Amino acid sequence: MILYALACERGHEFEGWFGSSADYDDQASRGLLACPVCASRAVTKQIMAPSVVGAKKRGELAAGGGQKRQMMMEAMAEVRRHVEDNFDYVGDTFAREARDIHEGRSEQRGIYGEASPAEVKGLVEDGVPVAPLPPAPPKKTEVN
């Protein structure tokens, strides 16, 4: 296993474990990597000394780390399901609608949709409360 330091185009830094450097390259080329903060798919490796785990340590990680990762993935999926089930989907008008709600021009309610990085930056700078929706879990056929 190899641990890579990763970052998205928006500067969010995070880590990812891969079976090999080829696994990272394959997942990156297929667009399967996403920032856990903003869901951006523009993810790159950062300069670092990779952490390589031997067979003994791999067994220790699998015993506890796999369960923690699974719990986190399930929690993120539950958050996404809750938003999709209870909030209004506004599509690509998200930025305008979020601003209208914040400024009292539209009814107060939970919404979700799409916005460009520039639109999100503008909302955040203006104090409009927004947060990225956790990405949909990858289909089992899309990951190794």
At 37-83, the pLDDT tens digits run: 888 889 998 876 545 555 555 555 555 566 787 888 888 888 888 99
DSSP 138: P
Does residue 86 form part of some domain? yes
Does residue 8 form part of some domain? no
- CA dist 33 and 42 (Å) reads 8
Mean pLDDT of 119-127: 91
At 2-12, the pLDDT tens digits run: 788 899 999 89
Mean pLDDT of 31-38: 88
| Total tally of structural domains belonging to the chain | 1
- Of residues 141 and 132, the one with the higher pLDDT is 132
* DSSP H or E run through 102: helix 94-102
Does residue 126 form part of some domain? yes
User: How far is the CA of 68 from the CAs of 5, 51, 104, 112, in angstroms?
Assistant: 19, 19, 41, 28
Q: Which residues have CB under 8 Å from 120's CB, separation 6+?
A: 38, 95, 130
Does residue 143 form part of some domain? yes
State the residue range of the domain holding 100: 76-144
Does residue 101 form part of some domain? yes
**pLDDT at residue 3, as a whole number:** 80
Does residue 128 form part of some domain? yes
Does residue 90 form part of some domain? yes
**pLDDT at residue 57, as a whole number:** 55
Does residue 36 form part of some domain? no
